[in-house]
Structure 1
């Protein structure tokens, strides 16, 4: 077993993926033919253990914010703690704030594991991320197990960060769009308006965007023309939602595959498949995989 403080590099062919287990069970870099396809963790952020500087971190045992830091489930009110000051509300659960253990590893694969026992917060769970690198790309299989004494609502996802090149484009299809309420909380969905649709591809929005795209088809494509490369994201059907975060004042943006709708824990529609919440009995597990496949961009002859 590797020490959790060490970076871990996986490689296959032209692809190299660097893991940072101690920094939230994160990915520190994803490079293909020497091209960064996720935002690279800087040396300063690595030394500081800054999880907000990584290439990708896991979201467990749910994704996005819980407004008011509480929700009602099966006749009981459950409370969580704020975890990302100066924000008031808990965001992305507890997994990204923990050191993960390297359970298994070899040249092209590694499994990171995390055990959390409920104390001040209600969740007890075991989470695993199984990373596998091949010449085709990176696959991440997330597994979440309820180790607590009662059934609880769960969710999980991945939070990658991408460089905001001037010519970067996005392409993905979804059916719904969650409006953003104050303090980053997502509201109810609306039918996706054409001006917010990326089905045919388009540049990043010029203004602020922090919205959940529901009814996501499970595929998204990012193209970096100036780098001559792109990245195809393909997720299992359990990932029903894709979160787009784009702040024009920052040099990065996020596309986050996740199982539960943002804000779902406050709406409490636990049996609504569109909300994507997974209720796990004690000892029960849920799992899903997301792949990140690099590809070369080809351009017509001049």
Structure 2
């Protein structure tokens, strides 16, 4: 199939998932029983190719920001470029800003791939997303391969958007809360205080949140009572972190499973399992699956 691929629709039972490979290898919609359970890509954003309007995009070859656009690894300083003006720092890597290739496609399954060669950024990699739709839900298996000549630190994740209904609730378990520094940079981790804990389902916070939860238990549940449905997110253990973005001024919020801690590339603790950074030698790969399972809510 060609490098620029038309939108795809995957279906199984009551579940319908739209893909827009040419817009960052993104999901355009996740609908169950006719109910949108992610923010749907609008026709205007589809026509404009606006990746910031999609339902979900991939984060490769790392998640979140790199402060100063530099990090030190292997005795060398590596530089990345700012990629989301007017932001100063690189955010979510490069994958979301490229068209992906459809390598396989069926009625309920599709695989997208992306090959990046190092240029101004140091990373050469191959990433794939294998989408599988069943009556139980959507599974996305991400694979990351270092195709460059030297070992480098990697990470990956998924960045979904959800509509901020007035009655929406969120529930997940975490162990640490990373403070936020200027320009969206992740700061020091602190012990999770009760006011910031979502172990029990609760409404979204009334104030700004743009924070990583470390030691994530691998499951998150979003409920939309007014829609009569919810979505359970279950991720493989490689996804050690969950990012929560919630701006009360915006009609959406984000709950993002990711392997690496936000800010980990600047802290440089490459062997710390809590940081979740995956160092890949040339030719090495890492993979993990995130599942999105819709469910009905009693009226």
Q: After TM superposition, is the score higher than 0.5?
A: yes
Q: Distance in 1 between matches of 2:201 and 2:180?
A: 22
> SS of 1:22's equivalent?
coil
Give the 4+ runs in structure 1 shifted more than 3 A.
none
- The offset of 1:5, in angstroms, is 3.7
Task: Give per-residue Cα distances to partners, 1:190-211, cap 9 Å, x unaligned.
Answer: 0000000000110000010000
How do residues 76-95 of structure 1 correspond to structure 2 at under 5 angstroms?
Answer: 76-95=76-95
**How far apart are the structure 1 equivalents of 2:5 and 2:47?**
11
Counterparts of 2:95 and 2:236, CA distance in 1? 21
Q: Matches of 1:202 and 1:263 in 2, distance apart?
A: 27
In 2: Cα distance, 1:3 partner to 1:146 partner:
21
CA deviation profile, 1:86-110 (whole Å, cap 9, x unmatched)? 0000000000000000000100000
Structure 2 CA distance, aligned partners of 1:152 and 1:132? 30
| Matched residue SS, 1:44 | helix
Q: Map 1:250-269 onto structure 2 (within 5 A).
A: 250-269=250-269
Q: What SS class does the counterpart of residue 183 from structure 1 fall into?
A: helix
Q: Which runs of 5+ in 2 are unaligned?
A: none
Match of 1:29, SS? Answer: strand
Q: What pairs with 1:136-175 in structure 2 (closer than 5 Å)?
A: 136-175=136-175
Distance 1:229 1:272 in 2: 38
> Structure 1, residues 135-194: CA drift from partner, whole Å, max 9, x if none?
000000000000000000000000000000000000000000000000000012100000
Contact 2:3–2:100 (CA<8 Å) still a contact in 1? no
TM (normalized to structure 2)? 0.99
Any idea what the Cα deviations from partners look like across 1:261-295, whole Å, max 9, x if unmatched?
00000000000000000000000000000000000
Query: Which residue matches 2:54?
Result: 54
> What displacement does 1:3 show?
6.1
Task: Provide the residue aligned with 1:36 in structure 2.
Answer: 36
Query: Does structure 1 conserve the Cα–Cα contact (< 8 Å) formed by 2:5 and 2:101?
Result: no
> What TM-score do you get using the length of structure 1 for normalisation?
0.98
Q: For the Cα contact (< 8 Å) 2:5–2:102, is it kept in 1?
A: no
Give secondary structure in 2 for the equivalent of 1:68.
helix
Aligned length: 299
Instruction: Report what 2:280 is aligned to.
Output: 280
> After superposition, where does 1:203-242 map in structure 2 within 5 Å?
203-242=203-242
Listed as ranges, the gaps of 5+ residues in structure 1 are none
Distance in 1 between residues matched to 2:171 and 2:16, nearest whole Å: 24
- Residue in 1 that maps onto 2:132: 132
Q: Which residue of 1 aligns with 2:19?
A: 19
Q: Does the CA contact (< 8 Å) of 2:146 and 2:283 recur in 1?
A: yes
